[in-house]
Amino acid sequence: MTPVADLSAPVLPVTKRRRLFAVVWVFVGVVVGLFVLTYLSIRLLSAVRAYVEGEGLWSKGQKDAIYALTRYTLYANEADYSAYLMALAVNTGDRQARIELEKPDPDLDIARDGFLQGRNHPDDIDGMVFLFRNFRKLPDIDKAITIWAAADHHIETLTQVGERIRTAIRAGPLPPEQARQFLFQLHAINNALTPLEDRFSSTLGEAARKYTQIILVLMFFVVVLMLTLAYLFSRRLFLQFELTQEALRSGEEQLKSVLQFAPLPIIIVRLSDERVLYANNHARLQFRLGATSLERLRPRDFYVNGADRDRLIAALEATGSVTDLELLLQDADGKPFWGLYSSQRIRYEGHVCVMTALLNVDERKRAHDELRYRAYHDALTGLPNRAMFMDTLKRSLHRMERSGGTSSLLFIDLDHFKAINDELGHDMGDLLLRQVAQRIQDCVREGDLVARLGGDEFVVLVEGNDDPHRMADKVLNVLRPDYQLGAHTVRITASIGVSCFPQHGTELDTLLSAADFAMYQAKTAGRNGVQFYARPH
């Protein structure tokens, strides 16, 4: 095999060198554009994910506020009224941030303070501001924000009802009929807000999926552009090589010199014995080839799966060329990577050969997997998030409706979780949530879906005829043992609401609202228990 130094010995004319460098800079520009697109797409989807989690906190805030105000109406306990004001501050904080960001020249410090009051993670706030300010006019984002704004009226109504309850209780014990009227108003506000929360989460989930697809398509076209440029450039080299070989033997040496400037790995293989006759520097680096290994290596050693090699050979025999064939390859050290092949039959040194240009697409595949994972999973626990859960629940209900099957939904909310956050800090609270998520996963069946909706709310979707009461008791029991949070040992219980398909509803929103309402019935009954959905009287 001729050493690499000999292959690069001929000097190209200045004009040709300039053309080659121009081609290289085109590829550099495309790669930089792909990197920028990937960065912006990851930031966009991270911001969408932060809004989905923020919606969970917002939803929990308003539900906690209604729950605390309900208890205050029933028992006139000042601690419940204080809890109501603290929970309501989450909703008013998010509203403050949204109203400020809608201004032509917003004060970002005010917006950030609002998001912090809404209990959003400080690391997520800059991304949330970035999404609101730069993508506000996108239809899906605008729709989500419009739904968000539609909740203002109900929050204002809740505030007014709270003030009326406060005034009435200060005046003396509430008559039973007046208390029932207040409770009915609170129940109506909760029923009005729950569909808005689900629509907001669903809209953002749809937006995440839509923009993920758009981003992937854009990345695909960028990669195709790179491949097309590489292919066109390589094909031009191939044609030049054929003419040079027919005209003058020395043209092969000039071609080798030109190939050294190609921005992609290029290999020439003799078909008769599959010997590598030529590999440019990019190919040697990609496959970790030395002078000795190049002599003994055969192209079949590049393939992780031998069937891929057979597929490539069959395509070459059928058409004489292959473009954009994606294969799993490996280098001389056995390290695998994904590559896109563009190959064509040529004559080289008097032999029938195949010349192949290769593009390493490992980064693209990793970016694809990362984008998909971020769009559908909770960053703290690794569980499916609300968007993935809603999508899975929708498909499950359609499947159960077609087959006549049954399913159950367990809505799990930790009792007094805020106290742990307040006493031990959010880091310990996050550690507890991860341990709770692991315990729930370990106690359910392999086919059951466990998801985190946000905050300290989890759901379990159980398909089939398995007894939901037994499953709920199992979850309660597995959550009761002590948790070790660093140097602290804590105990925590949960309240679980259960709704069943089709007894309690056949629609996604109905079934989830029923389980949510049952969970709050379990809390009202004293916590650390299970409550099946029962329609309010």
Task: Label each residue of 265-314 as H, E or C.
Answer: CEEEEECCCCEEEEECHHHHHHHCCCHHHHHHCCHHHHECCHHHHHHHHH
What's the fold here for domain 4-35+222-365? Beta-Lactamase (3.30.450)
Q: What does the chain come to in residues?
A: 537
456 catalytic residue (yes or no): yes
Q: Is the dihedral of CA 298, 300, 303, 308 positive or negative?
A: positive
- For the cut 90, the answer to whether the pLDDT of residue 43 exceeds it is no
Q: Which of 11-20, 196-205, 259-268, 464-473 has the lowest mean pLDDT?
A: 11-20
Confidence of residue 9 (pLDDT cuts 50, 70, 90): very low
Averaged over 460-483, what is the pLDDT?
91
For residue 319, how many other CB atoms are within 10 A of its CB?
11
Mean pLDDT value across the chain: 81
Q: Which of 433, 455, 453 is nearest to 512 (CA)?
A: 453
Higher per-residue pLDDT: 176 or 11: 176
CA angle 84, 90, 92 (to 5 degrees): 95
Torsion of CA 509, 511, 515, 521, to 10 degrees: 90
pTM, 2 dp: 0.53
- For the cut 60, the answer to whether the pLDDT of residue 51 exceeds it is yes
How many C-alpha atoms does 43 have within 13 Å on its Cβ side? Answer: 16
Q: Domain boundaries in the chain?
A: 4-35+222-365, 41-218, 377-532
How far apart CA 33 and CA 72 sit, in angstroms, is 58
Report in angstroms the alpha-carbon separations of 7 from 3, 193, 256, 499, 501: 7, 72, 6, 73, 72
Give the chain's radius of gyration (CA, Å): 31
Chain mean position to CA 78: 42
Q: What are the tokens at 298?
A: 């055969």
Confidence of residue 11 (pLDDT cuts 50, 70, 90): very low
Q: Is 138 exposed, middle or buried (0-12, 13-18, 19+ CB in 10 A)?
A: middle
Q: Which of 20-24, 60-64, 532-536 has the lowest mean pLDDT?
A: 20-24
How far apart CA 483 and CA 489 sit, in angstroms, is 6
Higher per-residue pLDDT: 275 or 510: 510
CA angle 215, 217, 221 (to 5 degrees): 115
- For the cut 80, the answer to whether the pLDDT of residue 286 exceeds it is no
β pairing state of 351-360 and 266-270: antiparallel
Catalytic residue among 378, 448, 456, 516: 456
pLDDT at residue 5, rounded to an integer: 34
- For the cut 70, the answer to whether the pLDDT of residue 260 exceeds it is no
- For the cut 50, the answer to whether the pLDDT of residue 4 exceeds it is no
Averaged over 392-407, what is the pLDDT?
89
Q: Which residues pair with 356 in a beta bridge?
A: 267, 343
pLDDT at residue 251, rounded to an integer: 53
pLDDT at residue 10, rounded to an integer: 42
Higher per-residue pLDDT: 208 or 487: 487
b (16+ CB within 10 A) / e for 199-232: bbbbbbbbbbbebbeebbeebeebbeebbebbbe
The answer for residues whose C-beta is within 8 angstroms of residue 209's C-beta and 6 or more apart is: 375, 387
The answer for residues whose C-beta is within 8 angstroms of residue 315's C-beta and 6 or more apart is: 322, 325
CB 444 within 8 A of CB 436: no
Confidence of residue 8 (pLDDT cuts 50, 70, 90): very low
> Strand, coil or helix: what is 329?
strand
Summarised one tens digit per residue, pLDDT across range 79-138 is 989 998 998 888 888 888 888 888 889 998 998 998 888 888 888 888 888 878 887 778
CB 451 within 8 A of CB 423: no
Summarised one tens digit per residue, pLDDT across range 167-191 is 988 888 888 898 899 889 988 888 8
Summarised one tens digit per residue, pLDDT across range 413-460 is 999 999 999 999 999 999 999 999 999 999 998 889 999 998 999 999
Q: Which of 29-33, 79-83, 116-120, 140-144 has the highest mean pLDDT?
A: 79-83
- For the cut 80, the answer to whether the pLDDT of residue 265 exceeds it is yes
How far apart CA 107 and CA 95 sit, in angstroms, is 14
How far apart CA 502 and CA 383 sit, in angstroms, is 26
CATH superfamily name and code, 377-532:
Reverse transcriptase/Diguanylate cyclase domain (3.30.70.270)
Q: Which residues pair with 303 in a beta bridge?
A: 329
Alpha helices for 408-492 (secondary structure H): 417-424, 426-443, 468-479
pLDDT at residue 500, rounded to an integer: 93
How far apart CA 244 and CA 242 sit, in angstroms, is 5
Task: Label each residue of 335-390 as H, E or C.
Answer: CEEEEEEEEEEEEECCEEEEEEEEEECHHHHHHHHHHHHHHHECCCCCCECHHHHH
Indicate the residue type of 409. Answer: L
Domain pair 4-35+222-365 / 377-532, same fold: no
Output helix, strand, coil percentages for the chain, rounded to the nearest 5: 65, 15, 20
Q: Is 465 exposed, middle or buried (0-12, 13-18, 19+ CB in 10 A)?
A: exposed
What residue has token string 């310990």?
428
CB 258 within 8 A of CB 12: yes
